């Protein structure tokens, strides 16, 4: 009797001895070095074959259609008239009706319209005079939830809108740094020396006290002595976007996670969460820029804590799935525990010294649903929204293939050329991030406006 057998699933009837014979010898640490060196060779090979980005990113140009639809709200015919009447303005390149402009040129045109155009239209984005830049951190300890994509698109849309943006990459994987074409040879081009400098300054101050008291000094090693000389000029780099600057990241930045607690052991009074915030305040960064965007690693480590302590606006991306909702809940729980315990520790000491207590405060915190698929996830998103309430943004950032598809040399939809896509697809994809930005911008300008009112009130009282 012949049996026609359906084959077994591939995971049944496996033989342990055969399986063992396929295994290599147990792996020791040195094997990782070998893997890394093979990868480095492979990388070189791929780079020679033209696969690696050449580090020479260039921002594309913007057409009359885009400029008038997305960037400067005037009719195309009106733009053409204004250009004709003002031959000194950038005229754009290209034949016929559609001209192409660099972003620098768009910014020049915008300034022109702001000074000459109809005053009821917004040509330049709101930034109250004398108010410091707002710092926005994008964080969640889960990876792959859209932190970097959200942060990069927010930075680019704010730049297109006319804001001057500083992006700080705190993730040693450096995805944001690649997106912005950053060049980061080692940890000295990251935030590492800025935090080191903050610690070194605290040690110098402490040593003054100890000198007066005649007690032993804390030694500054070579790294810390060098860090004392570091300034923003050493770490901030330009990007291919005229109004986005970058403090990049690379693998060595991860060392900070080990070093920061060691420093703290050396000097208990050093506020290990404040280094980044002190840098932003003390070096005039908050006057030089409008918006500072912090991309964080998928962990609640010391770098993320520094980012959160420096932030005015905290955005927490998550997908509309059970697992991402669950882990985001835990993330908030960890934030609570972490910052409450810092406050408790500090305030105990402050009370003892008869000083006023401290507390962390954010202008606004918002969870954002990312990679949203309305056909599959609407119920889940509604439940999540019900639980988060006003802790969640109203707009759900749609899943859009444009994010991943833009290509090797361009990242995200603001860098992509719309002519590479079906117009309909482009418009919908772009809307996902335009609306994410619109909601962020409301948080931004609302917070500024509120600050200004409060300053006014205080001045009135004084």
- Using alpha carbons, list the distances in angstroms from residue 70 to 25, 65, 180, 430: 59, 8, 22, 10
Q: Does 407 contact ligand ADP by CB under 6 A?
A: no
Count of residues in contact with ligand ADP, rule CB under 6 A? 17
Q: Does 148 contact Mg ion by CB under 5 A?
A: yes
Nearer to Mg ion, 239 or 370 (CB): 370
Contact 250, 190 (CB under 8 A): yes
In whole angstroms, what is the distance from residue 401 CA to residue 383 CA?
25
In whole angstroms, what is the distance from residue 128 CA to residue 163 CA?
12
Beta carbon of residue 326, minimum distance to Mg ion (angstroms, whole number): 20
Contact 261, 302 (CB under 8 A): yes
Q: Does 239 contact ligand ADP by CB under 6 A?
A: no
Place of tokens 């998103």: 381
Beta carbon of residue 170, minimum distance to ligand ADP (angstroms, whole number): 11
Q: Does 397 contact ligand ADP by CB under 6 A?
A: yes
**Residue 128: DSSP 8-state:** -
From the list ligand ADP, Mg ion, none, partner contacted by residue 278 (C-beta under 5 to 8 A by kind): none
Structure tokens at 142: 């889960």
Site map (CB under 5 A) of Mg ion, residues 93-132, x = contact: ----------------------------------------
From the list Mg ion, ligand ADP, none, partner contacted by residue 411 (C-beta under 5 to 8 A by kind): none
Cα 142 from chain centroid (whole Å): 15
Among 371, 396, 430, 441, contact with ligand ADP (rule: CB under 6 A):
371
Q: Does 174 contact ligand ADP by CB under 6 A?
A: no
From the list ligand ADP, Mg ion, none, partner contacted by residue 149 (C-beta under 5 to 8 A by kind): ligand ADP
Beta carbon of residue 175, minimum distance to Mg ion (angstroms, whole number): 5
Contact 325, 381 (CB under 8 A): no
Q: Does 304 contact ligand ADP by CB under 6 A?
A: no
Q: Does 144 contact ligand ADP by CB under 6 A?
A: yes
- ∠ CA 160-166-171, rounded to 5°: 115
Who's near 122: CB < 8 A, 6+ residues apart?
73
Among 57, 99, 110, 147, contact with Mg ion (rule: CB under 5 A):
147
Instruction: Estimate the crossing angle of helix 192-213 against helix 255-266, to 10 degrees.
Output: 10
Neighbours of 139 (CB within 10 A): 27
Place of tokens 């002519």: 419
Site map (CB under 6 A) of ligand ADP, residues 317-356, x = contact: ----------------------------------------
Using CB under 5 A, list all residues that contact Mg ion: 147-148, 175
Using CB under 6 A, list all residues that contact ligand ADP: 143-149, 175, 298, 370-371, 397, 399-400, 403-404, 432
């Amino acid at each position: 009797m012949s049996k026609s057998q359906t084959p077994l699933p591939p995971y049944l009837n496996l033989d342990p001895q055969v399986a063992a014979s396929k295994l290599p010898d147990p792996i020791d640490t040195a094997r990782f070095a070998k893997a890394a060196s093979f990868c480095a060779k492979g990388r070189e090979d791929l780079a020679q074959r033209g696969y690696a980005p050449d580090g020479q990113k260039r921002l594309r140009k913007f057409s009359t259609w885009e400029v008038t639809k997305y960037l400067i709200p005037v009719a195309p015919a009106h733009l053409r008239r204004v250009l004709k009447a003002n031959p000194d303005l950038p005229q754009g390149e290209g034949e016929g009706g559609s001209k192409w402009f660099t972003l620098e040129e768009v910014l020049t045109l915008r300034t022109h319209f702001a000074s000459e155009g109809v005053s009821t239209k917004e040509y330049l984005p709101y930034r109250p005079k004398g108010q410091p830049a707002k710092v926005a951190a994008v964080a969640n300890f889960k990876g792959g939830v859209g932190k970097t994509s959200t942060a990069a698109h927010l930075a680019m849309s704010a730049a297109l809108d006319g804001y001057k943006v500083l992006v700080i990459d705190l993730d040693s994987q450096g995805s944001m740094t690649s997106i912005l074409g950053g060049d980061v040879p080692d940890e000295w081009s990251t935030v590492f020396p800025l935090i080191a400098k903050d610690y070194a300054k605290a040690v110098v101050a402490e040593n003054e006290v100890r000198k007066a008291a005649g007690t032993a000094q804390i030694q500054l090693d070579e790294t810390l002595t060098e860090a004392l000389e570091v300034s923003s000029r050493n770490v901030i780099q330009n990007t291919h976007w005229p109004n986005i600057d970058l403090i990049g990241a690379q693998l060595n930045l991860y060392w900070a996670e080990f070093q920061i607690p060691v420093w703290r052991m050396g000097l208990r009074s050093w506020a290990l969460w404040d280094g980044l915030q002190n840098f932003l305040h003390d070096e005039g960064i908050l006057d030089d820029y409008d918006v500072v965007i912090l991309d964080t690693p998928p962990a609640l480590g010391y770098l993320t804590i520094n980012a959160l302590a420096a932030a005015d606006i905290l955005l927490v991306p998550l997908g509309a799935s059970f697992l991402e909702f669950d882990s985001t809940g835990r993330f908030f729980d960890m934030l609570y525990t972490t910052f409450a315990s810092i406050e408790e520790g500090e305030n105990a000491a402050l009370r003892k010294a008869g000083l006023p207590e401290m507390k962390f405060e954010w202008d606004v915190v918002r969870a954002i649903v990312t990679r949203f698929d309305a056909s599959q996830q609407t119920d889940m998103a509604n439940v999540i929204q019900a639980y988060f309430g006003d802790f969640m943004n109203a707009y759900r950032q749609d899943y859009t293939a444009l994010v991943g598809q833009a290509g090797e040399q361009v990242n995200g939809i603001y860098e992509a050329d719309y002519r590479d896509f079906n117009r309909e697809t482009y418009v919908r994809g772009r809307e996902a991030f335009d609306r994410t930005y619109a909601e962020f911008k409301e948080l931004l300008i609302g917070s500024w406006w509120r600050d200004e009112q409060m300053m006014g009130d205080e001045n009135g009282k004084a």
